[in-house]
Chains A and B, each alone.
Chain A
Amino acid sequence: MFALTKEQIDEPAVVRSVESSGAGAIVVFAGRVRDKNEGRTVNRLEYEAFEPLCLHEGMRIIAEAEGMFEITAARCLHRTGGLSVGETAVLVAVAAGHRGPAFQACSYIIDQVKARLPIWKKEHYQDGTSGWVNCQSHTGAHCHK
């Protein structure tokens, strides 16, 4: 299941939600707000999502992962709104019988989320300026991986 949330992500609660008696492996990825980006000091940032398409595409990514890998459960939550340095922006939790598919599915989900979801990030820098990441040039050359 995929969801957007304006609230802080309760990581232990998300991990509990994928647990089951058959889940011998749980892999969790947490994407956190970093204090530096391309040499600039970031104070805080904002995420904005086009919600209907984001939810639809997010659910599709989870369903793809469930079809491709031998997993028992997968969840992904992405924040919207304002975030401070250190906060969790995105959390992926995958449970499986064994670690191989759990790692693979977790990696697949976060890669697809970054590539496909209509979510935008505005960084506010220490020098008082701000900018939409990847949007400030015509070429999209400021590609953040």
Chain B
Amino acid sequence: MKAPARLLVRYFAILRDQSGLAEETVDSKAETARELYAELMARHGFSLEADYMKVAINAEFADWESPLSSGDTVVFIPPTAGG
């Protein structure tokens, strides 16, 4: 079992509304971005499944199976509607 990683999670749009948070620091043993979202979805009651979103790690699009390291900034990206 690895030690928890300290992560900064920033929330936008519907995820900010549903969590009531713009960001939070999370100590998590999640191995991947997908596991982290599952943990936070349970905590905050998010309505969107990961499969309908993208994820960014340190301001770059990343794979949901990407490993997480202490100091990473994670942003979950709900369906967008620019333009």
Residues of A at the B interface (CB closer than 8 Å) are: 31, 47-50, 52-53, 56-57, 78, 89-90, 110, 113-114, 117-122, 132-136, 138-140, 144
Q: Give me 24 A-to-B residue pairs in the complex whose CB atoms sit less than 8 angstroms apart, sorted by A's number.
A: A49-B82, A50-B10, A52-B59, A56-B60, A78-B82, A90-B82, A114-B80, A114-B83, A118-B54, A118-B56, A119-B80, A119-B81, A120-B13, A120-B78, A120-B80, A120-B82, A132-B17, A132-B78, A133-B81, A134-B78, A135-B13, A135-B79, A138-B48, A138-B52
Q: Tell me the bound Cα distance from A90 to B81 in angstroms.
A: 12
Given A122-B13, A135-B48, A138-B49, are A53 and B81 also a contact pair (CB < 8 Å)? no
Decide: B52 and A114 in contact? CB cutoff 8 A. no
- Chain A contact surface mostly: mixed
Size band of the interface chain B makes with A: 20 to 34
